[in-house]
Each structure stands twice: as C-alpha cells, then as structure tokens.
Amino acid sequence: MQFNIFHRIGSESHLSIVSRQQELVHGLGMNATLFLSYRNLFEPEVLAFALEQSAKYGDEIGLGLHDLGGPGMEDIEGNNPAFWLFDFATKKIVLERIRHRWEELMPGLPTSAACYHLDSSSLDALEEFWPTVKTAVGGCFEEGVRVFHGCNHSWHLFNEGMPWNPYVPSRNHSLRPAANTGEARDIVLVPHLMRDMSLAYEGRNDFWASHPPNVARGMGNEATFCPYDLNLVDQFRWQEKFNHGYAYYNTFVGASWLKWGPNSEHPPEVNWRLYEQMLTYLAELKSEGKVKAMTLSAYGEWHRQHRKPSSPQRYWAKEMLYGSGKHYFWYQDTAMRCLIDTTQGGSIGDLRPYCSQYPVRLGADTPHLQFGTYPYLIQSQHRVGFPNHHEDGTRTTFLLVCGEETLDFATKRTKIQRLALGDDEDQVILEAIPFAFANGCQGVVRSRIVFPHRSGRIVFRREIELESEGANPLFAHEYCKLAPGITEYPQRMDTVAMVLEAERKPYKYSGLAQSMDTTEVGAEFPDFNLSVALATTHSACRGSVRDGNLFSPFVTLQLELPIQSSTTIESWLTLSKIPE
C-alpha cells in the first residue's frame, strides 16, 4: 500500500505542534509533505522551519491553498475562505501573487499543492501559473450535503461524486477521471483523507476517515482505545486483493486537532495518542514491507508509472465499527461510479454516470456557483432508496410477483459471497436469497451483478431456482427508479423524455405508467447529457415507464418477465452520453 502523510502549518502559533508532529513522523522513519499557505510566506520562523525539514529530512514543501490572507491580498480576500469559489479572473490573480512571493523566498517552485476542492477552473489557473504542480490534494472525498447539515449549515463544500482513490482528472469536471489521454490533465489528484466506504455512504464521512481526532469527534473511541483507526488501515490494505496489488492511504491531521478546541470533548493528549498509535502501526507495516511511505510528489510519479488512467477501481467495504455485518461493493471506471448495497438486497445505492461527461466550473462567474458535485442518477441516501414514509426513492431492485403478492428483494439483506474479477469484466456474486409466497410457491434467487469494463453497462443476472410452484403464475420484475441531482432536493424534470419502444414520451409529472410488450425501456436526461436504457434479451417481456408527480418526481423503468420453471434471466442498465 502506498502511503502519504500531510501536514499544514497553519498559523505561526501552531508551529510547536507541527514540530512535534514532524518529530513523531521522523522518529518512525517516515517523511511528510508540508503545505505552506500564502500567510506562512510572511512568517520567517515558519519558513525557516519548513526549509530545515526539507533539507535535513527530505520532507516536501507544497503549496497550500487554505489560507489566503496576508499582505497584498487585502483588495481581493474579502470574506471568501475558499480558493475554488473565487471567479476565474480572481483565481488567477491570487495564484500570480502567491507565485511572486514564493519566488522571492523559496529555492524553487513546488511540485505539489493542496486544497479542499480543486474544480476545473482552479486546475486551469494552477496549470497556467504553477505548471510545476503535478500532484495535488484535490478534494475532500464525498464531503457533500451530509457534512453541510452536520456542521450547522456552515460547511459549503459540495463536491460529491469523486473517486475514492487517486486519479487523473478530466478537463471539464475535476471530480471525473479522464476517459482518455486526450482529455486528461497532466496532474494526479488524491483525496484529502481516506474515508470509511460504508459509514461514509450512510452518514457523515468526516467522522469516519483516516483522521483519528475526527474519529474521536464521532465518538468512535473509548479515550485512547480505538481499534477502528487501525482496522480502517487494514481494510484499505485488503483492497490490494481486488486491484492487482494496489492500495492507497493518507492522513492529513492539522495542528488545530491536536490542541484544546471545540471539535473534541477529549483533552489534547487523547487525540495525540490516537494519532501516534495509527502512525506507529503504519510504520510497523512499512518495516515489514507492506506499506511504502513517500511524499506527495513521489507518489504522483509512482502513480504515473504504475497506474493506467482507465484501470477499474474496486472496493469491498465491510462495516467494522458497529458490528452490523453490512457489505458494500464500489466499482468505478471511466464510464461510471457505482455502489452495490447488499443491505437492500444488492440494489444500486449510488450511481454517477461519468460517461455523460457533465461539465462543471465553480465560482460566482458560473451557473454552478458552489455546487461542484458530479451528478448522481441514483443516490438512495439523498432520495430515500428503500421505502420510507410515503414510497420508495431512487434505487434498483428485483421483484417477484405471484398473484396479489409482491416480494421486494430490497427487503432481504444479503452479503457478497465472492468477487470474480477479470481483464474485461468484474462480477459481484451475492449470497442466495430464499423466498416463499403464501400460496406455496418458494425457492431461492442467486444474483450476480456484472460490470463490463468501461462500457457504461451494469448487468443483472438472476438465477431463479423453484423448489415448489404455487397456484398462480410467477413473474420477475427488474425495477429501476431514477432521479438525477446533486443534493437531496429535486431537479426540474420537464426536459426529461421517457423512451418506450423507441418512442420518446415527455415527462408531464402525471405519475402515470405506460407499458407495452418490449424488451427495452429508457429515459433521456438532456440537462445531464445522459441517456439510460433498461433491456433484456427475453422476448416474452413487458416493459413500462412511469413519470412521477411533484410529490415524488422520479422516472421508473420496469421489465416484467414470466417465470415458468427454474431459469436464469438477464437484464442490463446502460448509461450513455446523448450525442451533441
């Protein structure tokens, strides 16, 4: 596993804390990357410390875009603490002024940078004024509306939908991995922290990450006893099995987390001890040859040499704090990012259609303002998912219907039995789910979800084994409910078209279904450049499309197939970009 340690000096008053952090890292035989802000460039003691760390220990000095105050910035700083939210012209002015000061004081330009979010216009400006920067901390992975609500509506960092591992970004959306070399930027982006891939989906991910004081803030510890911090390291290491030996980890603990403050009920030494335990464990793994610690720029060079931009990424997440036994599987390639939620029977819980190549630039001079999220097509935490209160929300599921009785397999929790990973496709094999109807029909369903690489397609293969038949005919339904968006609030849907047997039907907020004998149904979302189709090869099939109403604004696609004996049925969801 590749490993980075990041430190920001912050204010000059934090220097003694950062110095202690650096001593800890060096005493464990590792290096850190120190990020200097614009304000730090006017603090001689901070500069001398950073240069000494670099010369004596080989630590890297990078550009930190987290504190833009200081002499020469009074006319543009205003009340904006977020570099990525300046208009494009101001972003360029800020970077030009920082560069001028940096060149006066430092021996050379940095090759790495860090920011809570680097949108496309930020990367354009960075490319112009700091072309030496080839690796950067590019975003707080998934810090979207859940963190916004958890921080009393004060944390305006809406950047969901990015990869959880380092990647080469595309030019028109910094959270989307480049589909090919033609649209790829000459930079590697890494996440701000590594997040718990199960708890981050279910709730606030800033509590559950590679940051021991944040885990303490989420009360995942008992004073200095917190196995979770080390278990999270091991879960990321475990992903090497599914990614050809590759895994990545980092930690980014600022000095403010290691002193008295409002973020933790514990005294500083508790957070210090947790931080020390995690780094000591990683140092032990390093000594065993299981972890390679390096600076950020060194990781960027390693990434360019060893990782193909088009390589699929997999993550098998096991919930490990509460003992729930939940499994989640994340898949990502250049066409999509998808989450399989086994607590909902193997439903899709999150789906980001990278293939639509949706463009976003941030700032007051853009229509997107502060919303940098890569849009979702399905997000069951923002749009309900499994039925809760009125009706269900965005998700996929498998239904069996016998007479008047319907079994929704999202009500049946399963687990991942195994993964079958290949050169051209990946398969998620779920544990069998038994079913029984009141009329005596019973059996088991074995589901296999297949991801053909970079195709924009998700295949659902259902093996239905009947143990006894009831008096009524049995029907299988592949069900898909969609609601594109960037927050939990609905988007306008009146530009959407539903597709039934190649006929486009406008979205009228009618809440009515339309159906016919067909093997394919679909929808077009022109506001997101996206076309979706749900299809099967089984000829005896009835398809339906349904628009929602204003109380429940979704698009529902459904295929119905008769089941007369034990059989295997296959259907697939295909995402594609609407031609311009």
Q: Is the pLDDT of residue 483 over 80?
A: yes
Q: Is the pLDDT of residue 77 over 70?
A: no
Look at residue 26 and tell me if it is in a domain.
yes
Question: What is the mean pLDDT of the segment spanning 295-319?
Answer: 96
* Cα–Cα dist 362/119, whole Å: 6
CB 400 within 8 A of CB 391: no
> In the numeric block, which tokens belong to residue 55?
């010369």
Look at residue 178 and tell me if it is in a domain.
yes
Look at residue 523 and tell me if it is in a domain.
yes
Instruction: Indicate if 305 and 363 belong to the same structural domain.
Output: no
> In the numeric block, which tokens belong to residue 249?
């980890």
| Mean per-residue pLDDT of the chain | 95
Instruction: Indicate if 299 and 356 belong to the same structural domain.
Output: no
Instruction: Indicate if 301 and 442 belong to the same structural domain.
Output: no
Instruction: Indicate if 43 and 165 belong to the same structural domain.
Output: yes
Burial (0-12, 13-18, 19+ Cβ within 10 Å), 107: exposed
Q: Is the pLDDT of residue 180 over 70?
A: yes
The pLDDT tens digits for 194-242 are 999 999 998 888 899 999 999 999 999 999 999 999 999 999 999 999 9
Q: Quick one: what percent of the chain has pLDDT higher than 90?
A: 88
The predicted pLDDT at position 78 comes to: 62
Secondary structure of residue 78 in the 3-state scheme: coil
Q: Is the pLDDT of residue 259 over 80?
A: yes
Q: What does R_g of the chain's alpha carbons equal in angstroms?
A: 25
Question: Confidence class of residue 312 from pLDDT cuts 50, 70 and 90?
Answer: very high
Instruction: Indicate if 302 and 345 belong to the same structural domain.
Output: no
Range of the domain at 73: 2-195+250-260+292-311
Instruction: Indicate if 296 and 431 belong to the same structural domain.
Output: no
Instruction: Indicate if 300 and 347 belong to the same structural domain.
Output: no
CB 408 within 8 A of CB 195: no
* CA 378 to mean position of chain CA atoms: 13
* CA 392 to mean position of chain CA atoms: 23
Report the amino acid identity of residue 13.
Answer: S
Question: Based on the structure, what is the number of domains in the chain?
Answer: 2
> In the numeric block, which tokens belong to residue 394?
């965005």
The CATH number for 93's domain is 3.20.20.510
Instruction: Indicate if 25 and 49 belong to the same structural domain.
Output: yes
Look at residue 230 and tell me if it is in a domain.
no
Q: Is the pLDDT of residue 388 over 80?
A: no
